[in-house]
Amino acid sequence: MLKNNRFLPACFIMILSVIIVSCSGTGDSNSNPDPVIPETLYVNIIGTLPHDTSAYTQGFEVHDGILWESTGHYGFSTLRKLNLSDGSIIETYPLPDTLFGEGITIVNEKIYQLTWTSGLVLEWDVLNPVFHVSNTIDTEGWGICSVSSSSVVTSNGTSTLSFREISSFDTFRTVNVNIDGASINLLNELEYAGGYIYANRYYSDYIYRIEPETGNVTALIDASSLLSGSNRINAGALNGIAWDPQREAFLLTGKNWPSVFIVTF
């Protein structure tokens, strides 16, 4: 018995070493040289606006005092021009029944609207919203945000964000969005503000704050408090982030939500 007990510490260290090696050797954790543990932030509601509950929100962006929204579903997809002060609809621009609207972003007075599976990128003039197909992409269109006057970032429901030239929509760089090395998939609506990309994740009440250079998630924003129990009944997933520079706040909504929430994190 005494002899066996002498081996217990050595055996314990060996087993522990095997466990540590097993955990650290899994998949993506080794592929990120500088993983980050994200902080958790919470939404602070400073106001609300009404939101059309028939709007299956896919894209949300503020530009020059106007709130622009893209909605989805075949036969119901639209681009919408909304009053930033009271949330009312100024104008609705329907898409053909064959197109399923997705994310939008605005660059150089042009609105770029993704479509889900058709690969078509629609370009609208801000002052005269009539669209034409400006480009195509070879993947599903989910979310989009502009990160400079010449480039945008798109999501396609995976963990990959694609950086694209606005002129061609060709991809010149990708990042894998991750938390401490583990990939985060189902990335949806996007927004670029303060040097970070903010992303909705489909079916999640969290917004992910992402470092554009690395794909590291640096903050998890818990937005689960936005909808009360009764308001959740017919509401879909959180999906709509727009930075409002005048209010210095984010506007958040979701698919078929009754409200737009004006929040800080």
Q: Name the minimum Å distance from CB 104 to Ca ion.
A: 7
Site string for Ca ion, 216-245 (x = CB under 5 A): -------------------------x----
What mask of x and - would describe binding to Ca ion in positions 142 to 181, judged by CB under 5 A? ----------------------------------------
Interface with Ca ion, residue 198, by CB under 5 A: no
Among 78, 191, 239, 249, binds Ca ion (CB under 5 A): 191
Q: How many residues bind Ca ion (CB under 5 A)?
A: 4
| Residue 69 interacting with Ca ion (CB under 5 A) | no
Q: Does 116 bind Ca ion (CB under 5 A)?
A: no
29-68: which residues touch Ca ion (CB under 5 A)? 60-61
Tell the smallest beta-carbon distance from residue 113 to Ca ion (Å): 12
Q: 3-state secondary structure string, the chain?
A: CHHHHHHHHHHHHHHHHHHHHHHHCCHHHHCCCCCCCCEEEECEEEEEEECCCCCCEEEEEEECCEEEEEECCCCCCEEEEEECCCCCEEEEEECCCCCCEEEEEEECCEEEEEECCCCEEEEEECCCCCEEEEEECCCCCCCEEECCCCEEEEECCCCEEEEEECCCCCEEEEEECEECCEECCCEEEEEEECCEEEEEECCCCEEEEECCCCCEEEEEEECCCCCCHHHHCCCCCEEEEEEECCCCEEEEEECCCCEEEEEEC
Q: How far is the CB of 27 from Ca ion (least distance, A)?
A: 30
CB-nearer residue toward Ca ion: 32 or 58: 58
For Ca ion, the binding residues (CB under 5 A) are: 60-61, 191, 241
